[in-house]
Amino acid sequence: MSSKNTPEGRRSPVVDPNFGVTIVTAAEKVDSYDVGLKYFSDRVYATLSVFASNYTVYQQSFTDAVTLQSNTITVGDSKMYGVEGTVSYDIDETLNVNVSLGLLDATFADTADDGSAFDYAGNNFRLAPEVSGAVSVNKTVSLADWIVDVNWLTAYQSEVFFESSNYPGLSQPAYWMSDASIKLSPASNHWSVEVFADNVFDKEYLIDAGNTGGGLGIPTFVRGTPMIAGLRLYAEM
């Protein structure tokens, strides 16, 4: 089974007034293409997707380090390519393993749209990891009149930059993070109780940085969720 999509997106022109001078940045357009495949069998479910986006007149905003004014320029054609795949395998009726992997290449053009030099030429897009993936394991065990459902998930993300400048101080290095849960249900399955822990090893990481404060030299850092553990109750109404 396969699928194919070729949509076009558009972002409106930007009006950028600075000290009485108004600059109108041209509309940004993006052509996106993707092809996907799916495979099913008694024990295996697999997907594969290949995609590409071509940005024309890419709108890029940045803060001038001298004037602290926000400016928007148009970058030459910039491209993004990627592939994503998932394989889910039922080892037996009680054990399932799921593996996913994503590869991404998203970089700016070498010049601005007017042919002039561009400071961020070849830099990665913000929040665009080159590699991401996850492995999850689910095990179901029957004990007398009870069903125990055990889940483990470990995810990986390579380095991401929070600004198009790719400044190392405003980035999140590669990291791993794991979640776990154990759910206990009676055979009747009308209710269940679950013990869970997200970010089991309490990994410290950032989900964003820079933002408004970045233009003033005091970037705002947004911390990721720390380890959270708790108890969940489920009931069928």
Q: How far apart are CA 64 and CA 83, in angstroms?
A: 35
Residue 17 has a pLDDT of 57
Q: What is the pLDDT along the chain (237 residues), one digit of tens a residue?
A: 545 555 555 555 555 555 555 566 666 778 889 999 999 999 999 999 999 988 877 767 665 555 555 566 677 678 899 999 999 999 999 999 999 999 999 988 777 767 777 778 888 888 999 999 999 999 999 988 889 999 999 999 999 998 888 888 889 999 999 999 999 999 877 889 999 999 999 999 999 887 666 555 677 889 999 999 999 998 877
Cα–Cα distance, 64 to 19 (Å, whole number): 14
pLDDT of residue 12: 58
CA distance 4 to 206: 35
Q: Secondary structure of the chain in the HEC alphabet?
A: CEEEECCEEEECCEEEEECCEEEEECCEEEEEEEEEEEEECCCEEEEEEEEEEEEECEEEEEECCCCCCEEEEEECCEEEEEEEEEEEEEEECCEEEEEEEEEEEEECCCEECCCCECCCCCCECCCCCCEEEEEEEEEEEEECCEEEEEEEEEEEECCEECCCCCCHHHEECCEEEEEEEEEEEECCCCEEEEEEEECCCCCCCEEEEEHHHHCCCCCEEEECCCCEEEEEEEECC
Amino acid symbol at 190: H
Question: What's the confidence (pLDDT) of residue 38?
Answer: 96
Q: What is the CATH number of the domain that holds 177?
A: 2.40.170.20
Strand partners for 216:
none
- What are the residues whose beta carbons fall under 8 Å from the beta carbon of 209, sequence distance 6 or more? 162, 163, 170, 171, 172, 219, 220, 221, 222
Domain coverage including residue 143? 2-235
Residue type at 69 in one-letter notation = Q
Tell me how many domains the chain contains: 1
